[in-house]
Amino acid sequence: MYLSIAGLILDITMIEKIINKDKIKTSLVLAAVRLAHSAKSPDESLGDLFSEVQKERIYSDGKTFADLVPRLSNRQIKQEYLLAKQDPHFDLREFVSRHFYKLDTDKSDVTFATNPDMDVSEHISALWTHLERRNRLDRGSLISLPYMYVVPGGRFNEQFYWDSYFIMLGLAVDGKWDIIEGMIKNCVYMLNRFGFIPTANRTYFLSRSQPPFFSHMVRLLADHQGSSVLVEYLPHLIKEYNFWMKGSWKLSKQEHRAFARLVQMNDGSLMNRYYDNKMAPRTESLTEDTLTAESADSRDAERLFLHLRAGAESGWDFSSRWFENPHDIKTIHTADIIPIDLNSLLYQLEMTITDAYRVMKQPLLVRKFKKLADKRAAAIQKYCWDETAGFFVDYNFHHHLATGSLSLAGVYPLYANIANPEQTASVAVIIEHDFLQEGGLITTLTTSLQQWDAPNGWAPLHWVVIQGLRNYGYSELADRIKQAWTNTNLKVYDSQHRLVEKYNVVQTSSLGTGGEYPLQDGFGWTNGVLAALLDEDNTLTCELN
């Protein structure tokens, strides 16, 4: 029998009593946050108008219309549209321009004025102001947040969940702890308002989350302010945990013993998957998803949409990692997969909750959550270690076998300190021989048109791999990877004076390619990781001097 999650977790009221007993005051924990009603996603509230605008490609990027703000209520606009479109001279483009507008804070088409005399660190410091946003009112699909935040850049003008942690790494270098803390409090606000941290603060993202890096944000702040931060954010860490573990009592009656984001394995252990609560085309990619479904004759459209949405929740949208045929997105089956990165991150969340209870001197709860973490680590070892490949991989719980797809997600167990020395040695060899290119690490060993495949390299994955290897003493290899990656960033900056979301690490003078939208400048997590890695060198130089 597996342990009941509900039986192990103190409710928020009990935690508050413990905090009061220890005389630790925090408005975040004690404030009563009322669940607020949120507007519907624009595809739901605008109906045929939304579909027609996307179908006619009034805007080349489907996210553009989803982000516009209506001048009237969506209901009024929808009614006007139903009447106006009966006119044989009806102009859809003119109708949209008259009824919707772009927010002043949306700087997606504003080019940052680069100073060629700045070095890259100065450039990043100046960029933070350009990427800062403040939005205290719900406007269109944009959800209000109480504190200032930093966006990735380009088409991404929201506080994205997992991007934020890597952005914070760079903000920390510049001492912008007030913004870091504000962004964490924004996450708390969304947890209290919606019960989870959505992909970003948009109404059309309220059915899915992203890789759970909230515990890493809290630890980053705790490293700066002290361990009391762990206690302050404990109720919210638990709320995040409850979201991912929701439905444990329903598993025995579900097909494949899976409900929402939770899966019960054959041995009774609990693991997690990426999921989405809707079975419809993604709002911001309605045209792309519809075309994919129309070309997939043998697949049920709703199931296909679910897998596409789950792939989007993973942050790896998209990758051969999720495909049965690595070159065909129509074979995507993300929700059938136990992802190695997600479960490693949830292990770290369990350990962070454990450490918070340890600070509070609650030994029973320390043991309970440590036991949960140990059980997850054992499940990762059992289901996600591929002895033949010598690498950690995802596991298809429908087919009861490893997917066989090698990707940088396989290094997350090192990042989480789950791997044993023999496994780490094998992973390090494969990273060095198969993944490491002149410009850094390719994301998977499959070259495709998907952006989370070779030849692309991504900042957050480089950070995870570098830190994971350092955890086990492979500092020389980690430093080689760091040097290759930073050189690629600097080479493009020196020639083009910009930082972008992804890079071609095989041809180091090339930019990243693939995906559903053009390459974006900015770019939040590239800036954050590069700043943090370069700061290591500056810190070392200061120490030597």
Which residues are part of the catalytic machinery?
317, 501
**What spatial distance separates the first Cα and last Cα of the chain, rounded to whole Å?**
59
What is the spatial distance between Cα 173 and Cα 121, in angstroms, rounded to a whole number?
10
Q: Which of 38, 208, 239 is nearest to 140 (CA)?
A: 38
Tokens found for residue 311: 């792939």
What is the spatial distance between Cα 317 and Cα 308, in angstroms, rounded to a whole number?
8
Largest CA distance in the chain: 77
Residue type, 348: Q
What is the spatial distance between Cα 29 and Cα 177, in angstroms, rounded to a whole number?
20
Cα-to-chain-centroid distance, residue 289:
20
The helix or strand, by DSSP H or E, that contains position 181, with its residue range, turns out to be helix 177-194
What is the spatial distance between Cα 282 and Cα 305, in angstroms, rounded to a whole number?
8
Q: 295: buried, middle or exposed (CB in 10 Å: 19+, 13-18, 0-12)?
A: exposed
Tokens found for residue 327: 């070159």
3-state secondary structure of 428: helix
Phi, psi of 387 (to 5 degrees): -60, -40
